[in-house]
Amino acid sequence: MNKHIFLTAIVGIALLASCSKENYTVDYTPDVKIRFAEGGDSSIVHLEKGLIDYHVKIDVSASGEVIRLFEIYTADAKSGNRGDLIDGTTQSFDNPGKSYSTTYTVSDLTQNKCIKIVVIDTLERVYEKNLLIKITPAVHFSDAKRMETIENYYGPYYASWLSGRVYMRNTEYAKEIDFSLGDMVIQSEGTEPVAALVNPALRNDYHLLTAAGLQHTKFALTSLTPTQYNAITQVDAAPITTLEDPTLDVVKLEAGSTYLFKTANGKKGLIHVTAVTTKTGTIENVNGQWQEGVAYHEVTLTTKTVLP
């Protein structure tokens, strides 16, 4: 009984102690502040379409004459991690200052870029602030994606939004699908099925599993080399828009090749294939039956797309 009373007392003391705790707010004001003319607290600037240069106005202020060194570095546009020191941006002060202002031009903005401002005071304390400069792209790039000519791990349906998305046929985003893959017998390629781009709206006609609401898409093999494809930037859509519209419903896929597609809703883009791998698995056919040891293809690709 005494043991129970002792434990109850301990719990009560703990509760009283927790209730008596006060909330403390740390109100920290740094001795050195870095500000940009644009970007606000988010430190993000959005450029209008077509702009490839941006002039950054930077102001540094301190509570006293403590500014000893000012530098500008490149930074990773996704992680914000510091990169290389930018030549000509270092400013050291033999007599430490209370403020410093400068302008730096970020050029050749064919993609998002980030810079990091670094200030060191007389006590060797380091102050940093990033500025992310976001372009308005004319061409939307995807990440590298894996697709399949059947439905196993990834699926055969591709939508170019959100850096590229791959779906199975039960997706609720059927209207967003730009193109699909399938194993097809193409007369000019022999009698065996090959990995191919397939018009999504005609999948049922080609005896492939399909989904409702898929749009028509046409294809063409281009003569673009991987180097030429990689050279296309986010700010210049001409290398895509000037290509003659494609006309084929089915095109064989080969690693290293670049294909043109155009959807019924006017979206036009390039598909660059980096790998085509043969695999086997237990796959559902159009009759709803599961078959073991079925050969199919896994495809790795990227896209560059111009929205209508």
Domain count, the chain: 2
Residue 85 is classified by DSSP as: E
CA distance 149 to 208: 10
The answer to whether position 169 is within a domain reads: yes
The strand pairing partners of 277, in sequence order, are 298
Last residue of a domain, one of 69, 102, 134: 134
Token pair of 124 as six digits = 């060797």
Q: Are residues 36 and 153 in the same domain?
A: no
H/E stretch holding 13 reads: helix 2-19
Contact 261, 217 (CB under 8 A): yes
The answer to whether position 25 is within a domain reads: no
Give the three-state DSSP class for 256: coil
Last residue of a domain, one of 89, 105, 134: 134
Strand residue runs (E) in the chain: 32-36, 44-46, 54-62, 67-75, 82-85, 91-97, 99-106, 113-121, 126-134, 140-141, 145-148, 157-159, 165-167, 179-184, 194-198, 217-221, 250-252, 258-263, 268-284, 290-306
Residue 54 is classified by DSSP as: E
Nearest partner of 271 among 137, 147, 138, 151, judged by Cα: 147
CA torsion, points 128, 114, 39, 116, in degrees to nearest 10? 20
Would you state the pLDDT for residue 3? 47
The answer to whether position 3 is within a domain reads: no
Q: Are residues 110 and 212 in the same domain?
A: no
Q: Are residues 273 and 215 in the same domain?
A: yes
Domain hosting residue 85, numbered range: 32-134
Would you state the pLDDT for residue 171? 93
The answer to whether position 263 is within a domain reads: yes
134-137 long-range contacts (CB < 8 A, ≥24 apart) are: 134/44, 134/45, 134/46, 134/47, 135/47, 135/49, 135/51, 135/109, 135/110, 135/111, 135/234, 135/235, 136/46, 136/47, 136/48, 136/49, 137/49, 137/234, 137/235
Q: Is 29 exposed, middle or buried (0-12, 13-18, 19+ CB in 10 A)?
A: exposed
Q: Are residues 224 and 284 in the same domain?
A: yes
Would you state the pLDDT for residue 42? 85
What DSSP assignment string belongs to 182-240? EEE--GGG-SS-EEEEE-GGGTTTTT----TTPPPEEEEE----HHHHHH--TT--HHH
Last residue of a domain, one of 104, 134, 164: 134
Q: Are residues 181 and 263 in the same domain?
A: yes
To 5 degrees, how large is the angle CA 115–CA 49–CA 175?
Answer: 110
Q: Are residues 224 and 285 in the same domain?
A: yes
CATH no. for residue 81?
2.60.40.1930
> The whole model's pTM is what?
0.79
Token pair of 168 as six digits = 């199975």
The whole-number mean pLDDT for each consecutive block of 10 residues of the chain, a chain of 308 residues, reads: 49 48 59 91 90 94 95 96 97 94 95 96 96 94 97 96 94 96 93 96 96 97 98 95 98 98 97 97 89 95 93
Q: Are residues 155 and 92 in the same domain?
A: no
Q: Are residues 126 and 144 in the same domain?
A: no
Would you state the pLDDT for residue 6? 47
The answer to whether position 257 is within a domain reads: yes
The answer to whether position 22 is within a domain reads: no
Would you state the pLDDT for residue 20? 47
Q: Are residues 174 and 227 in the same domain?
A: yes
Contact 164, 179 (CB under 8 A): no
Would you state the pLDDT for residue 22? 56
